Amino acid sequence: MPSHASKQVRNKIIGYLIFLLVLALIPLFVRAGIITEFVQNLLMYSIIFAIAGLAFNILLGYSGLLSFGHAAYFAVGAYTVALAPQFIGETSFEVLILLALAASAIVSMAFGYIAVRLTRIFFAIMTLALTQLVWALILKLYWYTGGSDGVNVKAKPLLGIPFNEFMSRPEYLNTVFYYYLLGIFAISLFIIWLVVNSPFGRALLATRDNETRAEFVGIRVRLYRWYAFIISGVFTGLAGALFAVLNGHVTPEQADWIFSGDIVFVAVLGGFRFFEGPILGSIIFIFVRQYAMGYTIFWRLILGSVLIVLILAFPSGIMGALNSIANRIRAGSRILPAAPTPTPTAITDIKHHQEGGREK
């Protein structure tokens, strides 16, 4: 049994490494003319959304809490990077990232403290309301934030090296910043994976599945939810910080509840019951949105239709659909040769196999 579990883990880690390797080769594909710079640019947005989606999913997937307010932490991260130079001057990006992490930690501590008192729809509404507070502040403090015009964000020195001074912006974004982003994505992926697979992650699953029982084995449910909220908020803030530099411009739109909805969408689309769901969801979301926007100004209509189809046909997201297909093929090849009359236990075993897949 332990070898089975560790083998699964090893396969997963190999999968992640291959995925990261492919991403690392993208700039070479661009240079070879196989894909365009524009596609690489969209991939960068996808990676940023993936970090936010993974962070968001600590709450939805692992704690059973639907936050409709993740735009707040994203915006706090983005605006910290955009506004801090006014006060501390232009510095290396790392300093700004640390500030963004601190700012989003403070905001998520405060908001989380209030929100974890509630669950279900009440939690969702509370997080939504709190986000609107951030949105309103950004809009009203226009002498700092530029109001609805937003703030321009310059390219930043990375690791203390002022690439921004000797590179054009596209060159900067598609080379050094790309790898920088990829590095941060890899680190985030690793940390979030560790969090959800740790004893703490199991405790979160316990609070998700049965709050009463979790309490009666001694888990302090609210406190753990608060921790999860903060971790989730901080990584979402990190995504916001990266977004500020990539986008070159931040606006109140990033604090809007519609933007919160986009983060929810990414997780639901990919499959929130799967760790990797939000990554897949982000890539598909960014690309579909881009091409839908090219077709029509009613692009949200297209995304909405996708969501409706998804919830009706594949409630466990794209990952869920892929997984059940894979399981069916695997189960088919295993069961067909013998074709025994299934005993009741065999039936439950098969059923559990198919359903059990939703977990991992």
Q: Strands 249-250 and 151-152, how do they pair?
A: antiparallel
> How many Å apart are CA 133 and CA 140, to the nearest integer?
10
Query: Does 288 interact with other proteins (rule: CB under 8 A)?
Result: no
Query: Does 148 interact with other proteins (rule: CB under 8 A)?
Result: no
> How many Å apart are CA 96 and CA 83, to the nearest integer?
10
Residues of 161-199 as b/e, b for ≥16 C-beta within 10 angstroms?
Answer: eebbeebeeeebbbbbbbebbbebbbebbeebbebbeee
Nearer Cβ to other proteins (76/214): 214
Query: Does 5 interact with other proteins (rule: CB under 8 A)?
Result: yes
> How many Å apart are CA 78 and CA 101, to the nearest integer?
10
CB of residue 320 to other proteins, shortest distance in Å: 13
**Is the alpha carbon torsion for 65, 267, 247, 178 positive or negative?**
positive
- Residue reference for tokens 């869920």: 320
Nearer Cβ to other proteins (141/347): 347
Query: Does 334 interact with other proteins (rule: CB under 8 A)?
Result: no
How many of the chain's residues bind other proteins (CB under 8 A)? 39
Query: Does 205 interact with other proteins (rule: CB under 8 A)?
Result: yes
Query: Does 3 interact with other proteins (rule: CB under 8 A)?
Result: no
Cβ within 8 Å of residue 184, ≥6 positions away = 51, 238, 242
Query: Does 224 interact with other proteins (rule: CB under 8 A)?
Result: yes
Per-residue H/E/C for 160-221: CECHHHHCCHHHHHHHHHHHHHHHHHHHHHHHHHHHHHCHHHHHHHHHHHCHHHHHHCCCCH
Query: Does 209 interact with other proteins (rule: CB under 8 A)?
Result: yes
Nearer Cβ to other proteins (3/333): 3
Query: Does 206 interact with other proteins (rule: CB under 8 A)?
Result: yes
Query: Does 11 interact with other proteins (rule: CB under 8 A)?
Result: no
Query: Does 346 interact with other proteins (rule: CB under 8 A)?
Result: no
Query: Does 267 interact with other proteins (rule: CB under 8 A)?
Result: no
Among 210, 291, 315, 328, binds other proteins (CB under 8 A): 210
Query: Does 348 interact with other proteins (rule: CB under 8 A)?
Result: yes
Query: Does 198 interact with other proteins (rule: CB under 8 A)?
Result: yes
Among 39, 186, 219, 307, binds other proteins (CB under 8 A): 219
Q: Which helix (H) or strand (E) is 152 found in, with range?
A: strand 151-152
Query: Does 343 interact with other proteins (rule: CB under 8 A)?
Result: no
- Residue reference for tokens 């969090």: 195
Report which of 128, 99, 135 is spatially closest to residue 114, judged by C-alpha positions. Answer: 128
Interface residue list for other proteins (CB under 8 A)? 1-2, 5-6, 9, 194-195, 197-203, 205-206, 208-210, 212-220, 224, 227, 231, 348-349, 351-352, 355-356, 358-359
